[in-house]
Amino acid sequence: MPEYTATTIVVLALTLLVAGRRGLLRRRSTWLAAGIFSAVTIVADLVLTGLPIVTYDPAQLSGLMIGPMPIEDLGYGVALFLLAAIAWDAAAPRSRRR
């Protein structure tokens, strides 16, 4: 499996696992925010890969593309969103944690 694809799957799986254990995936707000974040990620990434500001080695990709954007970038974005959400909740004052 291409390295970028494999790394994205591993990091996304780990963030989903931690988010699930912390109860984030049971909250509708997480899915709503993740959906908006994903939509913005696709638009921004199409610009980044279309100009291009970033280019990829095709051998490191799964080959699933949204226009010039590799699908791995969407996994990267969702993992980043989940990691930020996990950290934001973990840093909450103790009295406010669920």
**For residue 27, which amino acid is it?**
R
Angle between helices 3-21 and 71-90 (to 10 degrees): 30
- The rounded distance, in Å, linking the Cα atoms of 58 and 55 is 9
Q: Does 97 bind other proteins (CB under 8 A)?
A: yes
Which residues between 51 and 70 bind other proteins (CB under 8 A)? 51-60
Residue 94 C-beta: closest distance to other proteins, Å: 10
Residue 34 C-beta: closest distance to other proteins, Å: 8
Q: Does 83 bind other proteins (CB under 8 A)?
A: yes
- The rounded distance, in Å, linking the Cα atoms of 96 and 87 is 14
Tell me how crowded residue 18 is: count the other CB atoms within 10 A of its CB.
15
Residues binding other proteins (CB under 8 A)? 3-4, 7, 11, 27-30, 32-33, 36-37, 40, 51-60, 76-77, 80-81, 83-93, 96-98
